[in-house]
Amino acid sequence: MLVSVAANAQGCNDIKDKDKANYCRAIDTNDKSHCQKIGSNDLLNLCMGKVENDIKYCRRIATDKIKKRCENSIR
C-alpha cells in the first residue's frame, strides 16, 4: 500500500503545472491542504468539493464544464 501511495505522489510531482500537481496530490491523499495551494478559483473549488464531498464548493465554480464535473463527482 505504501509503495502505491509513493508511486502516485511521484506521478503528481511529474506534473509541470503547479495547480494541477496540487490537485493531483489532494485527490491522491484526500488532503485539502493541497487544494488550498491552488491559485485558480474554479480548480480550487473543484478540489475542495471532491475532498470534502460537499456540493457547496461546486456552486462557486464559474466555468460550466468544471461545475458539472464537480457536481457529478459528488452525487
Q: What is the pLDDT of residue 47?
A: 98
Q: What is the pLDDT of residue 3?
A: 45
Phi (first) and psi of residue 63, to 5 degrees: -80, 120
In the chain, where the domains are located: 2-74
Cα separation, 64 vs 68, whole angstroms: 6
Q: What are the DSSP E strand ranges found in 1-75?
A: none
Kindly give, in sequence order, each residue whose CB lies less than 8 Å from that of residue 40, ignoring residues fewer than 6 positions away. 19
Mean predicted confidence (pLDDT) in 47-65: 97
**Per-residue pLDDT reduced to its tens digit, 3-50:** 444 455 578 999 999 999 999 999 999 999 999 999 999 999 999 999
**Coil/strand/helix, residue 51:** helix
pTM: 0.84
The cell for 71 is 457536481
**Coil/strand/helix, residue 49:** helix
